[in-house]
Structure 1
Amino acid sequence: LTVFHEIGVDPCLYYIALGESLFNDGVTLILFKIVQQFLDSKSVTAKGILIGLGAFLTISLGAIVIGVVLGVLACIITKYRTHFEVVFLLGVAYTSYILGDVLGWSGLVALITCAMIQAAYAFHNLETNDLYTLRSISRQLSEICEGIIFLLIGIKLLEKQLYWHMSFNLWSLLTCLVVRALVVFVLSLYINRFYLNISTISLTEQFILAYGGLRGAVALSLAIMVDKQKVEQRVYDTLVTSTLFTILFTVGVMGPTMRPLVKILHIKLAQRKTISLVRVLNERMIDEIAAGVEGIIGRYGRNSLRAYFVRLDEDYIRGFLQRQPSSHNAGIVKVYEEMALVLHLASLRSPQQAASIMRDLPATIQLRQFEAINMEHEASRAEMQKMTQFSAAHSFLGVMRRRNATLYLEDDCGTAPHRRGLQRFSFLCEMPKLLAAKRVQILSLSSQLAETTPSDRNADARPQEEAEKENDRAKKGRRSRNVINR
């Protein structure tokens, strides 16, 4: 399942493997309990086999009833807002397992049934943050439990009580592989013959399903749970050793080769679905038309049965189990909300980032949104340029008002620089050319001037005062000479 999820195989194949894995484990536990009862008898008769089949049906139905009752109870309680929905749902699911096991029924089947009802109805009563927390906790617990399982396998391998029986171990492995292949191919043939699935299961997909039958947690747990009082120690050690050998072969040899086989056999992968209202509306319209055609011709099939259960679910079940019941066609509104959210996020990013965000939208919507984003970015870029020019001009003029520029000009003969004096002048007439050609120099000059200290400013002001004194003395000298001349 992990390999299927990482590669992204077709959802139909993934859910077939998921459902087979869950219910196969539940049925295995039931059969293990039934076979354990045969250990007390010296021989197995036809009557005992019939009793075992009856016990199988009773255990399965009882576990399903427990799961349904506790799942409905969880939905009703979460229908009214509380502050511990996450802990409550996890506790109810685990309670279904404990209760089913205590009553002698299948705790795993009860747990699966309760979880299916919670996922279908109770999750709708949770807030978005609570639902995300619940799924994160479940994922983390799953990883922890898998680590514990492989830790248990390692501990059992280091025990000295293992007994290696070559022929028994090889026949056990071969029997597991052959029986797995027979069951998968026979059931797939039945499904394809009577069109019980939406699409047929190809031979390559059947081979992958048969090849992917990895034995792990349940097999080792059942081998350890064998009652040592009813079997000899050597038999018990042989069972545990054979189980460990099968687990190591299927997980260590068949598991790593699963990914290359999926690519070599060209297993159908999941196609990326675009977020399109037209696609969803077409799918719903085709379903309704197919159900209507079956009703007109009087031949009721899968589509009519689906429509009947959908109406039953919307009219009675959802209103009883959910706080705010949602209809089957509410998925159309969810698609619209998802599209609106994607477009909003794309409008807040650059055109390059918006392209990756909108990759799941239809091409026409992407083109329109790109045009709007480009126009918006061009307008904002022009506005930023205007603001930058205005800010640079304002800061430069402010600096030039506070400081004076000293002009060093050469005399008429081209000799060394001669100070003509300090002149105050305005750069207003030259400002457009300066901003257009030397914007970077202006900004660097303003930053340097802003970092000057008061002592530097006083040092710049001293030559100005001395020049003014010299001008005053020169004016007084000219006046005195004029008076003498008169």
Structure 2
Amino acid sequence: MRTMGGFSQMKLAVNFLTIGLVILSLPCGSYTEIPPKPPGSVTVLPPVKPAGGPQAFPDAENSNLPVFTMDYARIQVPFEVTLWVLLASFAKIGFHVYHKITFWVPESCLLISIGLIVGAIMHSVHEEPPAVLSYNVFFLFMLPPIVLESGYFMPTRPFFENVGTVLWFAVVGTLWNSIGIGMSLYAVCQIEAFEVQDINLQENMLFAAIISAVDPVAVLSVFEDVSVNEQLYIVVFGECLFNDAVTVVLYNMFIFVADMPVVEPVDVFLGVARFFVVGLGGMGFGVIFGFVASFTTRFTSNVREIEPLFIFMYSYLAYLVAELFSISSIMAIVTCALTMKYYVEENVSQRSCTTIRHVVKMLGTISETLIFFFLGVVTITTEHEWNWGYIMFTLLLALVWRGLGVLVLTQIINPFRTIPFNFKDQFILGYGGLRGAISFALVFTLPDSIGRKKLFVTTTICMIMFTVFIQGISIRPLIEFINVRRTNRNLETINVEIHSRLIEHTIAGVEDLCGQWSHYYWKDNSVPTCFPSELMVRLKFFCRSTCVLDFPVCSLCIFVAIVLAVKAWVDILSRIQCCVPLSYNILMSGFYFPLCPKEMYSPSTVTIHPHPLYDPYPHYRPLYTRTSSSGVLFKSS
């Protein structure tokens, strides 16, 4: 019975794909569209048949109302785009009818395979694919939904706990791969046997930046299925997201440099400066639009129908404004999504929140599906330039530089991490560097001024095919074989949340005693401690009722905070009758630091007994006893 059920499911999936192919095989404009009018606004009518017979078009003398007409040229573009989206949707439905297919084969592989089939059919009937993947279409319509989905569904808490590692791999790792692969390919081009001496250094660096964009969609889906450790998941997820932003910045910069005959040293420094200006500028625009979106949703309680509209419009506006000023639009929309997500979901209704989540996910999935689908179609229908030496060396160098980069960067960052990456994690980080939609779209939108554009397109398609099919399919067995650290991804309850917050505050206190600061310390001390607790309660209530953030987010809050703080400290000082006894906290290095006011006024005697298992320097830390009455530290015997 199970075999018959599986056979019926596979048959149903094949039927879905057949229906999609039949829909796509409808007239696509090349044979049925009405020919365009010639210049001069002259209307060409078909020959008039004898009187009494059916006429193709009514003439001036016999202007009868036509019963049936067809104007395909008017609806050609939206009609074909709708058919492509519908076919891709049918393909996804067919994949998930039989779950064992998507369990072992990534969805991106299946989409590329369907695209190859459709491309073969179109090539056999001499049909050209629709020219919808242009530079403006990709960067203005297809890329924003993909990036917005990644930024909006970014796990916020794990991301900020590992933000240093994520940026380290995304920024430094991308620069490492781009420079390493570009210089190595330029050296390969100097070999006369490969016949690619005409590719200069600038074009090799441009191509290296394109293939440095990682898109581990298949790896992330496997990570979610097998529940790998949270640190590995968030680093791969964050690197994929911010790596795209760095890649697009390098792409635009090398496009400009590729047209320069000679690159001066000053151009290199200007390029480095532009790199930081573009990245930081994109983050600034994203934060601004995220705050504006959060503030706007506080006043939409009476018009719940348009709440989701503000989220999409402000996100897209951040992207477009960043493009207007030629800064990183990906960083802008990602930062906007990260900034507004928490506050927007608190302000809007539950139905609007659900709508936002589903629409963001739908738009991102459709865009990425279409890109992988077009990848398969273009592989068959596009004219390629084959140079096996250049292609094979590109694949080899990409794997080598990716592995070396992960190994070197991990050895540098591990001493600064609480949970370092072991060798198994490093292997998965290096092996999971798949190339995908971003690399294909960037190389496909290269300007025609690049002499070897066809070779770059062919090499990129070969790399995507190799990484998606070989590495994407084998990543699950490898994770199972080497037994990567797993995590318990159960649903968090209120009990788990309470204990997590308690542990965070406890760790922050222990770090304060030890003189070590981490993200727990900064999170626990995010609000200045120079204000009395009663003042902070009033100020937080005031900020919650006027702003979208706690403290401080606007100049009014800062001004009120300063005024109330001065007034509170004047009241406190006026009530003091004597000097506060001096109290100190001694560290292992022998330096003294003032204790907090609560410890100064504590009537009990505090004895510090470091546990030998948790004390990193047991031989250098004696036991100390402090009496708060005198404020003096005494060494215990």
Q: Does 1:163 align with 2:385?
A: yes
1:422-477 CA distance string (max 9 Å, x none): xxxxxxxxxxxxxxxxxxxxxxxxxxxxxxxxxxxxxxxxxxxxxxxxxxxxxxxx
Report the counterpart of residue 457 of structure 2 in structure 1: 240
Identity of paired residues, percent? Answer: 28
Distance, in Å, in 1 between the alignment partners of 2:383 and 2:260 is 27
Equivalent residues in 2 for 1:33-432, closer than 5 Å? 33-81=252-300, 82-83=303-304, 84-195=306-417, 198-229=418-449, 231-232=450-451, 235-273=452-490, 279-309=496-526, 321-322=547-548
Relative to 1, partners in 2 of residues 1:32 and 1:324: Cα closer, same or farther, differing over 3 Å? closer
Report the counterpart of residue 338 of structure 1 in structure 2: none
Q: Is the 8 A contact 1:65 1:110 kept in 2?
A: yes
- Structure 1 residue 117, shift from structure 2 partner: 0.7
**In the comparison of the two structures, how many residue pairs are matched?**
320
1:26-69 CA distance string (max 9 Å, x none): 00000111111112211223222111100101111111111111
Secondary structure at the aligned position of 2:386 is classed as: coil
- Structure 1 residue 183, shift from structure 2 partner: 2.2
- Structure 1 residue 209, shift from structure 2 partner: 1.4
One-letter code of the match for 1:200? P
| Runs (5+) with no aligned partner, structure 1 | 326-486
Distance, in Å, in 1 between the alignment partners of 2:329 and 2:259 is 23
- Structure 1 residue 295, shift from structure 2 partner: 3.2
Secondary structure at the aligned position of 2:448 is classed as: coil
Distance, in Å, in 2 between the alignment partners of 1:90 and 1:291 is 38
Q: Is the 8 A contact 1:121 1:318 kept in 2?
A: no
- Structure 1 residue 286, shift from structure 2 partner: 2.7
Distance, in Å, in 1 between the alignment partners of 2:277 and 2:492 is 46
Distance, in Å, in 2 between the alignment partners of 1:272 and 1:310 is 31
Secondary structure at the aligned position of 2:483 is classed as: coil
**Structure showing greater Rg:** 1
Q: Is the 8 A contact 1:124 1:322 kept in 2?
A: no
Distance, in Å, in 2 between the alignment partners of 1:323 and 1:305 is 17
- Structure 1 residue 163, shift from structure 2 partner: 0.5
- State the superposition RMSD in angstroms: 2.5
* TM-score, length of structure 1 as denominator length: 0.61
Distance, in Å, in 1 between the alignment partners of 2:367 and 2:448 is 26
1:358-398 CA distance string (max 9 Å, x none): xxxxxxxxxxxxxxxxxxxxxxxxxxxxxxxxxxxxxxxxx
* TM-score, length of structure 2 as denominator length: 0.47
- Structure 1 residue 299, shift from structure 2 partner: 4.5
Report the counterpart of residue 25 of structure 1 in structure 2: 244
Equivalent residues in 2 for 1:431-442, closer than 5 Å? none
Distance, in Å, in 2 between the alignment partners of 1:238 and 1:281 is 57
Distance, in Å, in 1 between the alignment partners of 2:494 and 2:320 is 45
The structure with higher relative contact order (CA 8 Å, sep 6+) is 2
- Structure 1 residue 297, shift from structure 2 partner: 4.8
Q: Does 1:12 align with 2:234?
A: no
Secondary structure at the aligned position of 2:290 is classed as: helix
1:181-232 CA distance string (max 9 Å, x none): 222222222221122xx42212111111111111111111111222113x22
Relative to 1, partners in 2 of residues 1:44 and 1:127: Cα closer, same or farther, differing over 3 Å? same
One-letter code of the match for 1:186? V
Structure with the larger helix share = 1
Q: Is the 8 A contact 2:371 2:441 kept in 1?
A: no
Relative to 1, partners in 2 of residues 1:262 and 1:68: Cα closer, same or farther, differing over 3 Å? same
Distance, in Å, in 2 between the alignment partners of 1:310 and 1:263 is 44
Which ranges of 4 or more aligned residues in structure 1 deviate by more than 6 Å? 310-319
| Runs (5+) with no aligned partner, structure 2 | 1-219, 530-535, 552-637
Secondary structure at the aligned position of 1:36 is classed as: helix
- Structure 1 residue 7, shift from structure 2 partner: 2.3
Secondary structure at the aligned position of 1:112 is classed as: helix
Distance, in Å, in 2 between the alignment partners of 1:261 and 1:153 is 27
Q: Is the 8 A contact 2:307 2:348 kept in 1?
A: yes
Q: Is the 8 A contact 2:294 2:548 kept in 1?
A: yes
Relative to 1, partners in 2 of residues 1:270 and 1:298: Cα closer, same or farther, differing over 3 Å? closer
One-letter code of the match for 2:524? A
Relative to 1, partners in 2 of residues 1:274 and 1:224: Cα closer, same or farther, differing over 3 Å? closer
1:150-193 CA distance string (max 9 Å, x none): 12212321234210110111111122222222222222222211
One-letter code of the match for 2:384? L
Relative to 1, partners in 2 of residues 1:320 and 1:20: Cα closer, same or farther, differing over 3 Å? farther
